[in-house]
Amino acid sequence: MFYKRTEVVKNQLSVLRKAAKLTQQQLADDVAVTRQTIISIEKGNYVPSVLLALKLSRRLDCSVEGIFEL
């Protein structure tokens, strides 16, 4: 059964990544995911797990709420 997505998680990942002068590949390597995962998160097509969100926030030196919002 498929569910229709009713809420979209907006994020500032691209902005924060660029401010940190990181490429998508560098960020992906730092948090142990693929570049495609970073691309999907930045586009809003993928909502990361709590663990990945925490890794991203630590690497970008900001809170999870600073990256993601409903």
Residue 42 is part of a domain; what is its CATH number?
1.10.260.40
- The domain in which residue 18 lies consists of 10-69
29 belongs to a structural domain: yes
Q: Give the total number of structural domains in the chain.
A: 1
Residue 4 maps to a domain: no
Cα–Cα distance between 37 and 4 in angstroms, integer? 21
Is residue 1 very low, low, confident or very high in pLDDT (cuts 50, 70, 90)? low
Q: Tens of pLDDT along 32-49?
A: 999 999 999 999 999 999
| pLDDT for residue 39 | 98
Classify residue 26: in a domain, yes or no: yes
**25: pLDDT confidence band, cut at 50, 70 and 90?**
very high
Instruction: Please tell me the pTM assigned to this model.
Output: 0.87
